[in-house]
Amino acid sequence: MYQEIEAVVLANGEYPTHHIPVSILKDAPYVACCDGGANTYIAHGHVPDIIIGDGDSLSEENRQKYGNLLHCISEQETNDQTKAVTYLLEHGKRNIAIVGATGKREDHTLGNISLLIEYLRLDAHVRMYTDFGVFIPCRDTHTFACRPGQQVSIINFTAHGMHGQGLMFPLRDFTNWWQGSLNECTGSEFTIEAEGEYLLFMEY
């Protein structure tokens, strides 16, 4: 479930409260805040390494105090989360954790989650940690450590030939996000066999 982390992106969703994303944020070697997320991060007594976005959500007070940290990208073809991930990739940081990307507006949450597949296509190693579990973008066959009874969900994007080992319910080539939800591990590891891209959610 965990990864080597070179940088953390703090998005502008709900600020994390579970100890796992909180610890990831606390121990991060480098923190890139989306401009709205920077307001909350600063309010919690921290200073980001960089603030990325179009600057429209950053408070005027923080703009004046931390304007030297703001890397303003005005284009609107991508969201601030993607701008932050792209910036980190351009600076050689490929092992990236995203926190604070869910909650608040549901359309933003869905967009942030779906973009994980786009980062996979950029050869980035990005995972999204929420207050309930972790999203892991995957391609082809993978084996994961788990605990018996741990719940997992599989969201299909382009994968075909999907089969599972070590899961309670069989897998197939799902055509809707809900179809692979709430599966359950039967042992200490499970394998997803597939060709193509899919998104795995594992509860903590």
Give residues with Cβ within 8 angstroms of 160, minimum separation 6: 173, 194, 195, 196
Q: Is pLDDT above 90 for 78?
A: no
State the Cα–Cα distance between residues 194 and 99, nearest whole angstrom.
28
Angle between helices 106-121 and 80-90 (to 10 degrees): 20
Q: Is pLDDT above 70 for 1?
A: no
pLDDT per residue as tens digits for the range 32-70: 999 889 999 999 999 999 999 877 788 989 988 998 999
pLDDT of residue 7: 98
Query: What mean pLDDT, rounded, does the chain reach?
Result: 94
pLDDT of residue 75: 74
Q: Is pLDDT above 80 for 2?
A: no
Two tokens at 129? 């940690």
